[in-house]
């Protein structure tokens, strides 16, 4: 089971009322939203990604998630983030969801971003500032 100490960046988040499903826990699809929020927050704040007007955007082309323990509203969580593979135009992230102050992950997943030119939707080299931010997370 993934451990908190294995991740180079932790993004704090909180569950929301509508995240719970009829079974009283956060629905499985919501974890993908947690992953996306953690990655894009990092890319914007550290990598300078301009999601509204930048020439380069990241498209998710692959994703998966494994679940170990449930979480529910209201809970504070942290999403661990690291980079498993950094290519010329793509990056594979590894992520894990942790309850606040717990060492073992409740869920772990991965997804791949391909960076593309906004106008043409064609793959492009990852811009230098963004690449530098991603290199900080390579394991």
Give pTM, 2 decimals.
0.95
- What burial class does residue 1 get, using C-beta atoms within 10 Å of its C-beta: 0-12 exposed, 13-18 middle, 19+ buried? exposed
Report the half-sphere exposure of 118 (CA within 13 A, side-chain side): 9
Taking only the tens place, the pLDDT of each residue in 11-66 is: 999 999 999 999 999 999 999 999 999 999 999 999 999 999 999 999 999 999 99
Instruction: State residue 24's pLDDT score.
Output: 93
Domain boundaries, the chain: 4-135
Torsional sign, CA 64, 67, 71, 77: negative
Report the b/e string of 80-90 with b at 16+ CB within 10 A.
bbbbeeeeeeb
Structure confidence at residue 8 (pLDDT): 96
pLDDT of residue 18: 95
Judge contact between 79 and 94, C-beta under 8 A: no
pLDDT in tens, 65-89: 999 999 999 999 999 999 999 999 9
Q: What CATH superfamily classification does 4-135 receive? A: Hotdog Thioesterase (3.10.129.10)
Q: How many residues does the chain have?
A: 139
Quote the pLDDT of residue 115: 98
The answer to whether the Cα torsion of 12, 113, 6, 9 is positive or negative is negative
Query: Cis peptide leading into 65, omega within 30 of 0?
Result: no
């Amino acid at each position: 089971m993934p451990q908190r100490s294995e991740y180079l960046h932790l993004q704090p988040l909180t569950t929301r009322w509508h995240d719970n499903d009829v079974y009283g826990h956060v629905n499985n699809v919501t974890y993908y939203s947690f992953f996306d929020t953690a990655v894009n927050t990092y890319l914007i704040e550290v990598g300078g990604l301009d999601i509204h007007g930048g020439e380069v955007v990241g498209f998710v082309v692959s994703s998966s998630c494994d679940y170990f323990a449930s979480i529910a509203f209201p809970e504070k969580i942290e999403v661990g983030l690291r980079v498993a593979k950094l290519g010329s135009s793509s990056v594979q992230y590894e992520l894990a969801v942790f309850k606040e102050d717990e060492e073992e992950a409740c869920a772990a997943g991965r997804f791949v971003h391909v960076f593309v030119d906004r106008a043409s939707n064609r793959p492009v080299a990852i811009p230098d500032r963004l690449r530098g931010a991603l290199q900080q997370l390579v394991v």
